[in-house]
Chain A
Amino acid sequence: MKLLLAVITTALLWPSGLIAQGADSIAKISADFQAAGQDDDLIDDDEMKSLGGRALALAKAKGGRVGFDATLWTFYVARYGEDDGATRKKLRRGAMDLVIKRYANSTGSLKKIVAEWRVLRPDDVNEFAGYYRELAKATKKAAVKELAKAGGFGLLSQKADMGFALTDKERKQMLAHWKKLVAEKGDEKNPNDRAGRSYADSLKGKIFEIENLYIGATVPEIAGTDIDGVSFKLSDYRGKVVMLDFWGHW
């Protein structure tokens, strides 16, 4: 009896043990990514190619949780690769094909996926905007169409936050979108505002920023007092190059 049990256990464990040794996993990719990026914010292009390729292969091979996580990892690795834009795009394209095929009607999964679409380079905007359009077309769900629309504007907002200049057309789009929101739902609570403010209050600053604080705009006046209580104005320094620094001692 003992012997029989041992034989059965070995037969059960042996094949799966063999597969586990050779097969790739999220844990392995994650560990190798940590190792690749430990000296820098970004990883080398060849590491992006190899790690991203592994994540995408795993995503294609597996369904369920592992396949989903591997899809996220493909976008993640691509984001942190250094300069090789062609590889970055190829990886994302591959992951995007899976997104359309598997998750186009799953709002919860998509929320996690689009959170990985962060604008780090000006080109990213057009690429991600294209993905949102594909999603809107592929989905049957109204909630996903809504998410795709909001996502498109979110990209422009991210682009501006990164310090990249928006085109005049992009600025006008954003402004029209926000002003419409304020006009339609001004007093309603904005569900996307972490401070829980109304649409009107939460968008006031954003509207000011996009109207007045873009690259190329004449800087708005600041009139206030210095830390000794002496009044002065930002325009007192016209004629000099000024680094305006919002800082705190914390």
Chain B
Amino acid sequence: MYPHERSLVKKLAGKPFAIIGVNSDSDIEVVKKAVKEENLTWRSFWNGPKGTGGPISEAWNVTGWPTIYVIDAEGKIRFKNVQGEKLDEAVEKLLAEMEQKKK
């Protein structure tokens, strides 16, 4: 997954787009190391020491990883669990909508 996220960040640099993670590793040191070594530039909430049983994923009923939501500029959920090309298309569609609204 990391290469895909990296390519999105690179492709959409300068656009109003952000990846926000909810990291579900139980050991914060593992996450810190991964972020450094894999050069992960996006910000993540930490789901806490319970890992996949932490409060955010629990509240959101997340049972599979990765789980992805794509949210538009107005804060509406628009896509869920899109991956690969479909994810790129979803994000680009929402960015294009923003451009349209500006005009």
Beta-carbon contact of B81 and A162 below 8 Å: yes
Beta-carbon contact of A242 and B60 below 8 Å: no
Q: Which residues of chain A are within 8 angstroms of B51 by Cβ–Cβ distance? A: 248
Bitwise, B19-58 to A at CB < 8 A (1) or not (0) is 1111111001011101100100011111100011000111
B: contact size bracket: 35 or more
Count of A-B residue pairs with CB < 8 Å: 152
* CB-contact partner of A249 in B31, B70, B72, B82, under 8 A: B31
User: Given the complex of chains A and B, what is the CA–CA distance between A248 and B80 in angstroms?
Assistant: 18
How many A residues touch B, CB cutoff 8 Å?
A: 37
- Majority SS at the chain A contact face: mixed
* CB-contact partner of A241 in B24, B46, B94, under 8 A: B94
Residue of B nearest to A234 (CB): B20
Could you tell me which B residues sit within 8 Å of A by CB distance?
1, 5, 8, 15-25, 28, 30-32, 34-35, 38, 42-47, 51-52, 56-62, 65-82, 87, 91, 94-95, 98
Could you tell me which A residues sit within 8 Å of B by CB distance?
161-163, 205-206, 208-209, 213-220, 222, 224-227, 232, 234-235, 237-250
- Beyond the given pairs A241-B71, A244-B68, A247-B23, 15 more chain A to chain B contacts, judged by CB atoms under 8 angstroms and listed by A's residue number, are A163-B82, A205-B60, A215-B80, A216-B77, A224-B56, A234-B20, A240-B18, A241-B18, A243-B87, A245-B21, A245-B42, A245-B67, A246-B24, A246-B62, A246-B68
